[in-house]
Each structure stands twice: as structure tokens, then as C-alpha cells.
């Protein structure tokens, strides 16, 4: 009997709960759904100069969203409303239901050239959606690199492109390469001459290594005397790479972002009126600021061939005649030779430079924009021409 009363109480409670929900339905789900119909957000809350924010609008409503970027969006910079937005920013935007779009802020990129806090407010369907982000300074080393290296090269490109027909990027790359090569023409000539002399004295170096093979300190003293007598410096052979790779890094960043509106921050005052969006980055079938497999295959083959010919022209091959006596001496020397642990084999180094270096460069071409490798190709051809001149001088 007692159990029947408990069961009746439970049934009465459930019926009362159902009746209450039917008479007073909750609005929680509907309200939450309404709030999430429009999502106005920024990809990051902190940007560094001169990066522009990436603003996204998600339309989860059952209807298409239509608004005007000037009429429906209000921008505040450090709590002050930004007035007189450029007409190029004023556009009608349509976002289909259950889709998203990215707001184009390239036309107002000048706003983000200082350290401020920004607030973007979107007013649609009688509701306001807002998002906040900060613009901060770069780190010291990033700022130093940008000021000393990136900005001068970028402005040189913009200066040349502004005068070139159709604002062609590929012509600017060729001109920049030639300008850089002319600036380092004399140092590069000395480097190539030094490299050629170093190869020509390899038999003398081998003779010293063989003669004093049990006295390492004597080898170094004799080599220093030989370098002084021949007026060569073995460290100069590394200078081409020390010159090339910093330039390659700078050119990679400049070319890959040449049309980015955020680069307005780096433009010098006389060039600030130039519209970087007018830059023509196309050359034949290539897009010079993109990484494409078709351009990689073609450029990799061309670069490999050019680099192979250039390195081969820079090497000096010493011909040796082998006799039985020579083979016996060579066989005796190869046993327990302490010099081999310290002195790299010139033949191995030459083989590496001749075969593997071009292959490595060709493989690396896949990870960089096509424009960077047009620069490298022109650089290699210029070096090849200079190497031919050096070879003729050293033969005399």
C-alpha cells in the first residue's frame, strides 16, 4: 500500500512538470541560437607592426547576410572613432547562410602602422557584434632586420616596378640581381681569383701534407707560408655562400609578400603613393610569388644545369699519371695517415660541389616562390660569365 502511494506521488510530480513546461516554455535554446547566428571575430588578439588583422564573419542564420562595410561597421582606435574611411573600403558584402567570409582591410592598412588598440563593431539586424585586438611593436631583432635589410630591398623593388612597363615583377628581379652583382663585382672577382689559385696550389698542399705527415704543427706552419707566398686566403672560399644566403632570405620575404598591403609600413616617403596591388607577378605561365609544382620542375632542371656548369667551370682538375711505383707509395701512405683526419680530400669536396650542391639547390627550389629562383638563375649565369673571365686570366 505504501509503495502505491509513492508511485502515485511520482506520477503526479511528472504530470505537473510536463504541464508547467507546456504552459511556460523555456526560451534558453532559442536565445542561444539567436546569439550565435552572427559571429564576428578576429584570428588573433595581438598583431605586430605591420601585420593587418584578419577579420572573419560567420553567418549561421537561415537567411543571407547583407551589409555595407562603411555603413554597418564602426572602427575605434584607442576608443576614438575613425572617421573618413577611404571609399575603397566601402563595399557591399553578401554572405550566404551557413557560410563565412573574411573582411578585406587592405585599403585601410595604413591604420595599423602604429601601436594602438582597435575595436571593430558590426551592426546588422538591430544587433551589434564587436571584436578587439592590439597592434604592438616588433621585437628588437625583427625590427633591426626589417629596417637594415628588408626595407631597403623592398623599396628598391617598388622603385623599379613603378617605372617598369606593366609593373612587371620579373623585370625588377633581373634588375635587382644585376644591381647587386655590380655592387659586389670587385669583391666577387677577388673571391673567384682566390678560389682558382687555391685549386692550382693543391699539388703543393698535398706535397706538404705528405712530407710532414707526422708533424701536424709543421704542416700548418708550412701551409701558412705557402698561402702568404701565393697571396691566397682559404677562408675567402666561404664568402660567396656568406653573401648569397642572407640575400636569399631577404629576397624570399620580399618577393613572397611583394603585393601585401601591410608592406606600406616599409615604404619610404617618396614611394608611399604607389599602389602595391598593381604589381604584376605573372611571367609566362608562372606566378612568381607562389610555390607551384609545375614551376618547381622546370626551374629545378634549369637551375641544376646552370649551377652544374658554373661549378664545373670553377674547378681545376689535376691530372695524374699512375705508375707501379706511385701505386706502392700511395698504398704505403694511406695506412695510418693522421693528416686525413684533419684535411678534407679535395676530390671529395669537388665531387660534392659539382654534383650534390646543384641537386640540393634544385630540391630547395620547391619550397620557395618562383621569383626567388629567377634571381638565383640570373645570379648563377652572371657568376658563370665572371668565372670564364677569371679562367682566362689565370691561364695566362
pLDDT for position 334: 41
CATH number attached to the domain at 32-136:
2.60.40.10
Question: In this predicted model, what pLDDT tens digit does every residue of 259-281 receive, in sequence order?
Answer: 887 788 888 989 888 888 788 98
* Chain position carrying cell 664568402: 239
pLDDT for position 304: 79
Compare 78 and 296 and report the one with higher pLDDT: 78
User: 70: how many CB neighbours lie within 10 A of its CB?
Assistant: 15
Grid cell, residue 372, equals: 626567388
Highest mean pLDDT range out of 145-149, 172-176, 198-202, 261-265?
A: 172-176
Is pLDDT of 50 > 70? Answer: yes
Q: Is the pTM of this model over 0.95?
A: no
Q: Pseudo-torsion of CA 65, 66, 70, 71, nearest 10°?
A: -100
Question: In this predicted model, what pLDDT tens digit does every residue of 122-154 receive, in sequence order?
Answer: 999 889 999 999 998 877 777 888 888 889 999
Contact 64, 153 (CB under 8 A): no
Mean pLDDT of the chain: 79
Is pLDDT of 184 > 80? Answer: yes
Domain ranges of the chain: 32-136, 142-395
CA–CA distances in Å: residue 293 to residues 109, 298, 365, 367? 32, 9, 10, 10
pLDDT for position 31: 40
Question: In this predicted model, what pLDDT tens digit does every residue of 223-259 receive, in sequence order?
Answer: 888 888 888 887 776 666 676 777 878 888 888 888 8
pLDDT for position 241: 64
Given pLDDT bands bounded at 50, 70 and 90, which one contains residue 77?
A: very high
Amino acid at each position: 500500500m505504501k509503495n502505491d502511494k509513492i508511485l502515485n506521488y511520482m506520477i503526479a510530480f511528472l504530470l505537473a512538470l510536463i504541464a508547467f513546461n507546456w504552459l511556460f516554455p523555456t526560451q534558453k535554446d532559442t536565445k542561444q541560437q539567436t546569439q550565435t547566428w552572427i559571429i564576428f571575430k578576429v584570428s588573433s588578439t595581438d598583431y605586430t607592426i605591420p601585420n593587418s588583422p584578419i577579420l572573419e564573419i560567420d553567418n549561421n542564420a537561415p537567411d543571407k547576410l547583407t551589409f555595407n562595410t562603411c555603413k554597418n561597421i564602426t572602427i575605434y582606435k584607442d576608443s576614438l572613432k575613425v572617421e573618413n574611411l577611404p571609399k575603397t573600403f566601402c563595399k557591399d558584402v553578401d554572405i550566404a547562410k551557413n557560410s563565412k567570409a573574411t573582411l578585406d582591410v587592405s585599403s585601410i592598412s595604413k591604420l595599423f602602422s602604429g601601436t594602438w588598440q582597435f575595436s571593430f563593431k558590426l551592426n546588422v539586424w538591430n544587433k551589434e557584434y564587436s571584436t578587439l585586438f592590439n597592434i604592438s611593436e616588433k621585437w628588437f631583432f625583427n625590427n633591426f632586420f626589417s629596417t637594415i635589410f628588408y626595407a631597403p630591398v623592398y623599396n628598391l623593388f617598388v622603385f623599379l616596378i613603378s617605372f617598369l612597363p606593366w609593373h612587371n615583377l620579373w623585370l625588377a628581379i633581373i634588375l635587382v640581381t644585376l644591381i647587386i652583382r655590380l655592387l659586389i663585382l670587385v669583391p666577387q672577382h677577388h673571391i673567384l681569383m682566390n678560389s682558382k689559385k687555391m685549386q692550382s696550389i693543391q699539388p703543393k698542399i698535398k706535397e706538404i701534407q705528405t712530407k710532414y705527415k707526422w708533424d701536424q704543427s709543421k704542416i700548418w706552419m708550412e701551409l701558412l707560408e705557402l698561402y702568404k707566398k701565393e697571396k691566397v686566403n682559404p677562408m675567402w672560399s666561404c664568402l660567396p655562400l656568406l653573401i648569397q644566403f642572407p640575400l636569399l632570405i631577404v629576397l624570399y620575404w620580399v618577393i613572397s609578400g611583394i603585393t601585401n598591403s601591410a608592406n606600406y609600413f616599409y615604404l619610404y616617403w617618396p614611394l608611399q603613393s604607389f599602389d602595391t596591388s598593381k604589381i604584376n607577378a605573372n611571367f609566362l605561365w608562372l606566378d612568381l610569388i607562389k610555390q607551384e609544382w609545375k614551376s618547381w620542375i622546370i626551374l629545378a632542371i634549369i637551375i641544376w644545369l646552370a649551377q652544374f656548369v658554373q661549378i664545373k667551370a670553377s674547378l681545376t682538375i689535376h691530372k695524374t699519371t699512375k705508375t707501379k711505383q706511385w701505386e706502392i707509395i700511395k698504398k704505403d701512405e694511406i695506412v695510418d695517415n693522421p693528416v686525413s683526419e684533419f684535411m678534407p680530400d679535395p676530390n671529395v669536396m669537388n665531387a660534392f660541389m659539382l654534383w650534390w650542391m646543384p641537386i640540393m639547390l634544385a630540391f630547395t627550389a620547391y619550397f620557395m616562390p618562383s621569383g626567388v629562383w629567377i634571381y638565383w638563375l640570373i645570379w648563377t649565369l652572371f657568376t658563370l660569365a665572371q668565372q670564364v673571365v677569371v679562367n682566362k686570366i689565370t691561364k695566362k
